[in-house]
Structure 1
Amino acid sequence: MAEDSEETGRTRQNLALYRKYRPATFAEVRGQEHVTQPLRQALSSGRINHAYLFSGPRGCGKTSSARILARSLNCVNGPTPDPCGVCDSCVALAPSGPGSIDVIEIDAASHGGVDDARDLRERAFYAPVAGRFKIYIIDEAHMVTQQGFNALLKLVEEPPPHLKFIFATTEPEKVIATIRSRTHHYPFRLMPPSVMRELTEEILNAEGVKFDPAVLPLVVRAGAGSARDTLSILDQLLAGSDDSGIRYDRAVALLGYTDATLLDEIVDAFAAGDGAAVFRAVNRVIEGGHEPRRFATDMLDRFRDLIVLASVPDAITTGLLDVPPDRVEALTAQASRSGLAALTRAAEIISAGLDQMRGATSPRLLLELMCAQVLLPAAATDERSLLARLERLESGAVNQSYPERTRPAPEPSVTPEPSRPVEDPAAAAPPAPGAQAPADPAQPPADPSRS
């Protein structure tokens, strides 16, 4: 008996994290309170429907919640929102349990045809063996064919009292409307980063693993809101850790993200207009074997954080941005140096460039062209570029690598001499002998009385 217990303990230790820490009750489900609270209330009041539809992104807890609902329905004290955890049904339906004969899980991706639906319909009328209800959990329900749904329609519409259906799908719009209208639909959501970070930290502490706090934002970001994906990534980092624990540099290298120091270098170079530093950073990215599109995506994420920080100065303290404590001062300084208009313009350029880099034959060239556009706000005449130029002028950050073209100095102006009247050649000639000289108009006429 002791050997069996020891073997069970070793098996649980070797389980993947997303299986080892799968929730067993609705109270343990994280980030889905908008679903778990109504379900708990329905179980408490006894208003239980015969069919449920759980929809949402992958890895957000749909199948786990379906198993918890089945556990709550078949508990010896049930239906109850808090299963006892010790009865035969609760033990069988626990995350590490062997399963129950009265709870049938069907993967519709491989069993979604009309023949499978007819077989289910024939077996559904048999009473449960040990539990209160016979429960069908149909995963990937959108993969059931039109004919399969039609074969199930009458059963889902008017099931026997002992039968319950729980459909789980990532694409609820593909479930035919006649089925959807007969279910209670509960949409699941991606887990918020703050909740996911808290969960990963608790798991690492429970596992007794040392870790660099800067690793957690990387893991949460790589998981993209999916609890299963996040714990799978954390499990991979945990498997590759040594006595020093999970280190930031190894996590960055394994996940393919750009080191924060390299992002700091290129953002500071953009703010100073230092083209040489920008292209040196790009060269380091290529020489380090990083993917240019991955680097551009990381730059866009950094600019997004700086835009939020420039717009909301207390974004870090209020939790709007999830930033490690040792990065607060550096990001605040970068946001104040760059300016909101310049940051927004840079983000728009990189976002447009990312679309062009998809499938490009020369991603490095496109990355360098994007950087050149960010460096030269004077090359564009749109409003965002003009604001960026004004911000740069006001901050005194003159682009040393790309100085503005100087205008040629104007030539010294020469004041023309006043034009002289052209002399009449006849007037310039001396008077002939004996001829009277013409009267000078400037002199008064001679008085004849004096002659």
Structure 2
Amino acid sequence: MALALYRKYRPATFAEVVGQEHVTEPLRTALASGRINHAYLFSGPRGCGKTSSARIMARSLNCVEGPTPDPCGTCSSCRALAPEGSGSIDVTELDAASHGGVDDARELRDKAFYAPAESRYRVFIIDEAHMVTTQGFNALLKIVEEPPEHLIFIFATTEPDKVLPTIRSRTHHYPFRLIPPTAMRELLERNVAAEGVRVDPAVYPLVIRAGGGSARDTQSVLDQLLAGAGPEGVDYQRAVALLGVTDSALINEMIDGLAKDDAAAVFGTVERVAEAGHDPRRFASDLLDRLRDLVLVRSVPDAVTRGLVSAPEDELNRMVEQAQGIGLATLTRYAEIVHNGLAEMRGATAPRLLLELLCARMMLPAASDGEAALLQRLERLERRAVTGAPIAEAPRAAEVPRATAPAAPSAPAPAAPSAPAASERFQRPSQRRAPEPAAPVASAAEPVRPAPEPARPAPAPAPVPEPVPEAPQPTQTPQAPSGGIDAAAVRKAWPGLLAAIRKISRSTEAMLTNATVQSVEGSLVVLAHTAEPLARRLSEPRNADFIAAALHEVLGGSWQVRCVHGGGGGGGSARPAGPGPRPQPSSPSRETPAQPQRTYQRPTQSAQPAQPTQSAQTAPPAPSAQPARRQPPSEPDIPLPPEPDDEESMLAESDVMDLPPEVETDPEIIAHRLLAEHLGARPLD
């Protein structure tokens, strides 16, 4: 019977241990200096050399030239403790999986007091030490803590946390690790050369991946391949068939299909995987390994030379081409989808169906609104633009919201010719033509649009008259500060400003409910409030500093804030005055709140008997000394938004409307009066 490779090529010295230099070097130094401890703990994954290192430690301690890091190999102790040796009576190896009870521990404790028969030390190697019961560890505790001078304990375990803490605290702990692929390949090539069998270089990555970093498991896989090798040695196809791994040709077909967005190639590959009898879970696992290699090749240019990716030379060249054809974000998203799909396949009754579904998710980034899917779509557009392929689907999908946005204002286009041109003089409501039924929709939707800039051209391709004319302004719009921020910009950012103030002071936010932006003068923002007490409160340094800090957070820069009494409530932007059928003129420097309607009566009619529906506070009485005024043509009462019922507002209204007859024909005075009548506006000084 042939000896297994992991037993045949078991290391006999610390220099032969592969991939554990972080453990062997300190042990060699301690042996050379003679600093020997009474107890050691070797922990790590299975098959990494823990038990072999414990035997090498016992061999180095009992060598006639020892303690030495390099046993002579010729003395009786070295020959007895060699990998193929018969063993020594002074070195006891105990399997705790079957001898971990309290009785076994007591027997071991009784034997420990006897001196060694022919060696320098008596060594107890306790393998699978985590299987020792708590009572067994308690029985060994005293002798492990204070052993005789000739006694040394070596515990080997894969789960050091299960070792009794009092035992673990009295040992020197050396953690072993998985062997890296480069060191493992050197070990396999050395063993194959000693066996004299030819092995295809493409087989080594498959064997290393199947071994999972364990030297014993990897050598067992290689031993299986060597046992079934023919005269030509171990070739790639036979290794793929015996190990059950996916053929790299199928992986390459899948990657190429995903890179080209070829659904037929992708799902055809899944069909060939099923026909070949491969496990869909194993195929998904191998595909995830390939995606990992492609991510490394794309992210690290010298990943191959640094040993981050292990594959045959021709396969590495193919992987470099694949990584260049697929973006990094796309590869990352593919890897995440396959990883999640592997978790879903665990215990599934239809793994092929799940494999097809994850392939569909990889090829359809538009089905997800996540960041990874968006980056994949961008990389797909860039790739198509570089290769010259037609970009048809993605741009249309991206332009759908942009194309449908202007459709709403263009709906009431047939009613637009009935509105007066922007260059005409402002007409009285009694002189206007009754609007069409579609006009309320346009007037209601109009205030939602941002205030147009004078220098911006009209967005419509055809010249369409403005549905809402603008009256001549008596005052100039406040100039923008040096940073380019004016009152319109502050009004536009009003919701964000309120949200920023909410974080600082909720009381200040509540007081700003009916405040408006009156003007911006350099770095000074002037707010207007309908309530004089709240205006004074907002002008206090504490609230003004809160508003200035919110302005700095939203708009940047340094600001000063002052609040005055006057204006209408409603935040930072103008709103329609009411749901009436006629369009209302708007003023960019003055906002009007949306309030209930009331009936307004001209000042010259105040001497007549009041109508039943008229309030006493609708208009101020005309002065007795005022000369008689011309009576305009009779017209019905016009519903208007109410003014604040305070004396200051009524006085301002009378100042605007009660004008001498000699200036009534002035167009600017007429515009002032119309704004006061229909919008409740108030001229600024």
- How far apart are residue 327 of structure 1 and its match? 1.3
Which position in structure 1 is the counterpart of 2:456?
none
- Amino acid in structure 1 at the alignment position of 2:131: M
Is 1:103 matched with 2:94?
A: no
CA contact (8 A) 1:108 1:143 kept: yes
- Amino acid in structure 2 at the alignment position of 1:186: Y
Match among 181, 188, 192 for residue 176 of structure 2: 188
CA contact (8 A) 1:273 1:398 kept: no
Match among 220, 224, 227 for residue 208 of structure 2: 220
CA distance in 2, matches of 1:159, 1:416: 104
Q: Deviations over 1:182-208 (max 9, x none)?
A: 101000000011000111011111111
Which position in structure 2 is the counterpart of 1:208?
196
CA contact (8 A) 1:273 1:399 kept: no
Which position in structure 2 is the counterpart of 1:312?
300
Distance 1:360 1:403, change over 3 A: farther
Query: 1:343 is paired with a residue of what secondary structure?
Result: helix
- How far apart are residue 98 of structure 1 and its match? 0.6
Is 1:234 matched with 2:222?
A: yes
Which position in structure 2 is the counterpart of 1:66?
54
CA distance in 2, matches of 1:398, 1:97: 71
- How far apart are residue 416 of structure 1 and its match? 7.0
Match among 237, 241, 254 for residue 249 of structure 1: 237
Query: 1:329 is paired with a residue of what secondary structure?
Result: helix
Which position in structure 2 is the counterpart of 1:289?
277
- How far apart are residue 57 of structure 1 and its match? 0.3
Which position in structure 2 is the counterpart of 1:433?
none
- How far apart are residue 323 of structure 1 and its match? 2.1
Which position in structure 2 is the counterpart of 1:174?
162
Query: 2:246 is paired with a residue of what secondary structure?
Result: coil
Is 1:328 matched with 2:316?
A: yes
CA contact (8 A) 2:41 2:168 kept: yes
Which position in structure 2 is the counterpart of 1:303?
291
- Amino acid in structure 2 at the alignment position of 1:336: Q
The answer to which structure, 1 or 2, has the higher relative contact order (CA under 8 A, 6+ apart) is 1
CA distance in 2, matches of 1:399, 1:296: 30
CA contact (8 A) 2:43 2:50 kept: yes
Q: Deviations over 1:259-317 (max 9, x none)?
A: 11110000000010001110000011111111111000001000000011111122112
Query: 1:164 is paired with a residue of what secondary structure?
Result: strand
Which position in structure 2 is the counterpart of 1:152?
140
Distance 1:111 1:398, change over 3 A: farther
Distance 1:224 1:48, change over 3 A: same
CA contact (8 A) 1:272 1:399 kept: no
- How far apart are residue 82 of structure 1 and its match? 0.6
Which position in structure 1 is the counterpart of 2:81?
93
Matches within 5 A, 1:283-432: 283-396=271-384
Q: Which runs of 5+ in 1 are unaligned?
A: 1-10, 423-451
CA distance in 2, matches of 1:104, 1:398: 74
- Amino acid in structure 1 at the alignment position of 2:212: A
CA contact (8 A) 1:349 1:370 kept: yes
CA distance in 2, matches of 1:106, 1:280: 55
Which structure shows the higher helix fraction? 1
Which position in structure 2 is the counterpart of 1:435?
none
Query: 1:186 is paired with a residue of what secondary structure?
Result: strand
Q: Deviations over 1:84-103 (max 9, x none)?
A: 00000000000000111110
Q: Deviations over 1:23-55 (max 9, x none)?
A: 000011111111001101111110000100000
What is the count of residue pairs matched by the alignment? 405
CA distance in 1, matches of 2:96, 2:378: 59
CA distance in 2, matches of 1:184, 1:398: 65
CA contact (8 A) 2:381 2:394 kept: no
- How far apart are residue 63 of structure 1 and its match? 0.1
- Amino acid in structure 2 at the alignment position of 1:89: S
CA distance in 2, matches of 1:162, 1:326: 58
Distance 1:359 1:113, change over 3 A: same
CA distance in 2, matches of 1:405, 1:276: 24
CA distance in 1, matches of 2:395, 2:345: 32
- How far apart are residue 318 of structure 1 and its match? 2.3
Percent of pairs identical after alignment? 68
Query: 1:105 is paired with a residue of what secondary structure?
Result: strand
Which position in structure 2 is the counterpart of 1:5?
none
Is 1:29 matched with 2:17?
A: yes
Is 1:133 matched with 2:110?
A: no
Is 1:258 matched with 2:222?
A: no
Q: Deviations over 1:369-396 (max 9, x none)?
A: 0000000111111111111111111111
CA distance in 2, matches of 1:297, 1:253: 17
CA distance in 2, matches of 1:234, 1:403: 51
Structure 1 segments of 4 or more deviating over 3 A?
A: 397-400, 402-410, 415-419
CA distance in 1, matches of 2:396, 2:326: 25
CA distance in 2, matches of 1:103, 1:294: 44
CA distance in 2, matches of 1:265, 1:94: 50
- How far apart are residue 254 of structure 1 and its match? 1.1
- How far apart are residue 399 of structure 1 and its match? 10
Is 1:53 matched with 2:17?
A: no
